[in-house]
Amino acid sequence: MRLLTWNINGYRAIQKKGLEDILGMLDLSVACFQEIKALPEQIEMDPYLFDQVFINSAKRKGYSGTMIASIIKPKQVTYGLGVEELDQEGRVITAIFDGFALVTVYTPNAQDGLKRIEFRQQWDEAFGQHLRRLGCPVLVCGDFNVARTELDIYNEAAGKNSPGYSIQERQGFEAHLMPYFKDVFRELHPQTRQYTWWSYYSRARERNDGWRIDYWLASPELMPYIREITILDDIYGSDHCPILLDFDEVAFRKANQQ
């Protein structure tokens, strides 16, 4: 089972840049997108690529939003966290498959001056609770808007106290997610510096002045069945790049049927 996560920074914009051609080359089972910035009626996915499409749009037009496209029909799909004040921006989709859940998330940015940090902290706690309530192994992917450590940011000194690298955000990630999940890239590549987001300013991507803020997280019991994770930083179209996960779903199901 090959899965992808990608903050595409606008579905309609990236579609014009060859999104479906990129997806077609990757031989995917499931693709998860964040920051789609579109309503369901504005999204046209080629049914030969994915015949199952689930969209959670923000109430505010042209903002935020998430989407899961799949060739496998989930048993159940839910939208949001079940908390009204947190569910206005289309930031979460949960799909239940055979034996595990897949969750895609677009975590709120704390914004300049950390002016949205209280909302972010409320979100982090509620999102962690949502994942734990699922009651099954979970794969979690998306843009978490935080670089965990100095390995995940090009210039740590410049990033200190900035949104995405503040103490509050890093502590929230560690407290609400890391006791329960594994950071798949860091588990498989413990010392590798590789980034998933680059600012559009100052030609940051050309200089690889990036941050790793997009993740695949996995329940510990799923880790033995994850064959590889690949940050596809040679794929353009957004200020983020996609991350590919190869998950041996067949072996996982067989092991859990015994």
Active site residue 143: yes
pLDDT single digits (tens) 59-115: 999 999 999 999 999 999 999 999 999 999 999 999 999 999 999 999 999 988 999
Which are the contacts of 184, defined by CB distance < 8 A and separation ≥ 6?
215, 216, 217, 218, 223, 226, 229, 245
Selecting among 124, 143, 152, 183, the annotated active-site residue is 143
* Residue 54 lies in domain: 2-257
pLDDT single digits (tens) 143-175: 999 999 999 999 998 888 899 999 999 999 999
* Total domains, the chain: 1
| CATH code (residue 23) | 3.60.10.10
> Has residue 250 got a pLDDT over 80?
yes
Active site residue 106: yes
Model pTM score? 0.97
Distances (CA, A) of 164 to 32, 102, 104, 140, 168: 21, 24, 18, 19, 9
